[in-house]
Amino acid sequence: RIAYVNGRYLPHRHASVHVEDRGYQFADGVYEVCEVLGGRLVDERRHLERLDRSLRELAIPTPMTHAALSAVLHEVVRRNSVTDGMVYLQVTRGVARRDHPFPPPGTAPSVVVTARRTDRAAQDATAAKGVAVITVPENRWPRVDIKSTSLLPNVLAKQQAKEAGAREAWFVAPDGTVTEGASTNAWIVTPDRRILTRPAEGGILRGITRTVVLEVAKALGYQLEERAFTVAEAHAASEAFITAATTVVMPVVRLDGVLVGQGVPGPIATTLRLKFHDFSE
Ligand code: PDD
């Protein structure tokens, strides 16, 4: 495997950053994960635009143009012979003597890109059965709209899910509403067939997959409502699912050990999963 690190393509085992990289010391960085399908980067433009926004919100200098970044992403995908998989891009505030305020102007941001294949057959098999989700209290900072590498609450939630035999953990705000998953956006379908997902302005990451799924759902004529839903509503739902670049649309069949709907992937989630790539760029 080959990784890109600050201008060089290196064998994976030699691909490292400096011990004083601010990403390492402070999680002072941002990232993107983009699906690779048939060698193409799905919704690449949207991912690069969200990266720009994350960088801007944290005042990390733009490391290179979209064209240059895109060339690197494609080159890493190519060098790893990834046809179906994902590409990971991380930008940190760079290497500097450890000190909390920003480093001196001119400090170059660090850029790392890796790619790997995914087993699409295995993922489709998982989607055909659906996954389990647990709920955990929301304990993240309010700026989850930034795709930051500071992911400790997400890591802990995900581990808790794993230990419970679940695929994802949904964060639950103090008011009882679900915000999102540790690495996915959260959705339910009400018994009267309305699709609900939390507004992007409401304490979640604006998922690219989420944006596209909203377009798919609209085009297919489903009833849509961007509003927060409670755990109680999720328990009463006829379907639930999660979305992310890594899993596209993944049906949820169990919530905190209780079956969602009939306990099998629902027709709407299944249709959205099937139609997704007709609408993504
Ligand atoms: N996670 N919410 C959170 C907290 C996420 O980390 C992600 C993505 C999403 C979905 O965003 P998108 O549809 O743009 O992938 C929502 C990536 C895949 C990850 O951390 O691996």
Which pLDDT score, from 0 to 100, does residue 202 have?
86
Give, using CA atoms, the residue closest to atom 8 of ligand 1.
183
Alpha-carbon gap, residue 150 to 88, rounded angstroms: 15
Tell me whether strands 223-226 and 194-197 are parallel, antiparallel or unpaired.
parallel
Set 129, 147, 162, 218: catalytic member: 147
Atom of ligand 1 nearest to the CA of 154: 4
CA distances from 243 to 10, 58, 141, 177, 240 (A): 32, 25, 21, 18, 10
Helix axes 267-279, 208-219, angle to 10 degrees: 110
pLDDT at 6 over 90: yes
Bridge partners, 259 (sequence order): 254
CA of 97 from ligand 1 middle (Å) equals: 31
Beta carbons within 8 Å of 143's beta carbon, 6+ residues apart? 57
Q: What is the pLDDT confidence band of residue 212, given thresholds at 50, 70 and 90?
A: very high
Residues 32 and 205: beta-carbon distance below 8 Å: no
User: Residues enclosing ligand 1, CB less than 6 A?
Assistant: 33, 180, 183-185, 205, 207-210, 243-246
Average pLDDT of the residues in 137-160: 98
Residue-range domains of the chain with CATH: 2-118 (3.30.470.10), 123-279 (3.20.10.10)
pLDDT at 268 over 90: yes
CA of 106 from ligand 1 middle (Å) equals: 30
Alpha-carbon gap, residue 111 to 69, rounded angstroms: 9
Over the chain, what is the mean pLDDT?
97
Which pLDDT score, from 0 to 100, does residue 280 have?
86
Q: What is the pLDDT confidence band of residue 228, given thresholds at 50, 70 and 90?
A: very high
pLDDT at 124 over 90: yes
CA of 27 from ligand 1 middle (Å) equals: 17
pTM over 0.95: yes
Q: What is the pLDDT confidence band of residue 281, given thresholds at 50, 70 and 90?
A: confident
Alpha-carbon gap, residue 74 to 89, rounded angstroms: 11
Q: What is the per-residue pLDDT across 95-109, written as a single tens digit (0 to 9) for each?
A: 999 999 999 999 999
Helix axes 208-219, 44-57, angle to 10 degrees: 130
Q: Would you say the ipTM is above 0.90?
A: yes
In the residue annotation, 218 being an active-site residue is answered as: no
Give, using CA atoms, the residue closest to atom 6 of ligand 1.
183
